[in-house]
Amino acid sequence: MYKIAIAGAGYVGLVAGVCFAEKGHNVICVDIDEHRINYMKKGKSPIYEKDLEELMQKNYKEKRINYTTDYKNAYKDADFIFIGVGTPEREDGSANLDYVYEVAKQIANTVEKDCIVVIKSTVPIGTNDEIEKYIKENLKNDVCVNVASNPEFLAQGNAVKDTLTPSRIVIGTENIKTQEKMTKLYENFDAPILCTNRRSAEMIKYASNDFLALKVSFINDIANLCEIVGADIEDVSKGMSYDERIGNKFLKAGCGYGGSCFPKDTKALHYLASRARI
């Protein structure tokens, strides 16, 4: 079993940390919010996710997970350091990577053994390359650090199940040793593992979220047209859903898509495409 440090005890980081602990690993979750850390040490979850609080209490009692603000001790001898901090949107639609770089700086100043830094946050294509370069250029100790992309695919309210039994595990690396170690880390997870290069893994996350947002937008436009021509959108959606190429997910007409991911991720991909002059 591995020693895993999780940078960021929010939605992505906390769920990942608890699920790795449930699989038997030794996990330490790091956050700058001392109140949040103390709250979690009491077995309380700062977010609502089915089964999360129960697993927090179970694994804390069994000493497989802990919470701290002391990143120095958490990162220095970890086998894997997962970055799960927020990447909020900027005014121009691009992703704000300030929190990711702050963690990268802490890691470069702290690690005392070879390790793998895993970016689980949703980041623009090429970020893993840049973070690895930044860490290696700023390392304080003579150690080897490789960066891997491992995006999450969680549905709010179902995040624990989506982590323990995911639809797929995407691992983006640039060398075979890192790939092998990442695959070993996930060997107890019952899910297909797709190994790619880092940029492909980053794009898989954006493409997946934006495609789902596209389905929501599409069915809403069809609903508007149904009202004009006298068709029933519920029957139309049901009729479409029998086609296995389309499926029945994200075909419920409504006011639109929201949440913490779809709006910012669609803007970020649009910004990326604009910069690439697509």
d(CA 125, CA 236): 37
Of the listed 29, 115, 226, 261, which one is catalytic? 261
List the strands of the sheet with 80-83, edge to edge. Answer: 65-68, 26-30, 3-7, 80-83, 115-119, 145-149, 169-172, 193-196
d(CA 269, CA 93): 9
d(CA 67, CA 267): 33
Residue by residue, DSSP assigns 59-108 as HHHTTSEEEES-HHHHHTT-SEEEE-----B-TTS-B--HHHHHHHHHHH
Contact 85, 7 (CB under 8 A): yes
Helix (H) or strand (E) holding 20: helix 11-22
Q: Which residues, in sequence order, are CB contacts of 129 under 8 Å at separation 6+?
A: 147, 198, 199
| Residue 144 annotated in active site | no
DSSP 114: -
- 3-state SS class at 32: coil
- 3-state SS class at 263: helix
d(CA 57, CA 66): 10
Strands 65-68, 26-30: pairing kind: parallel
d(CA 233, CA 48): 32
Structure tokens at 130: 């840049």
The residues carrying an active-site annotation are: 261
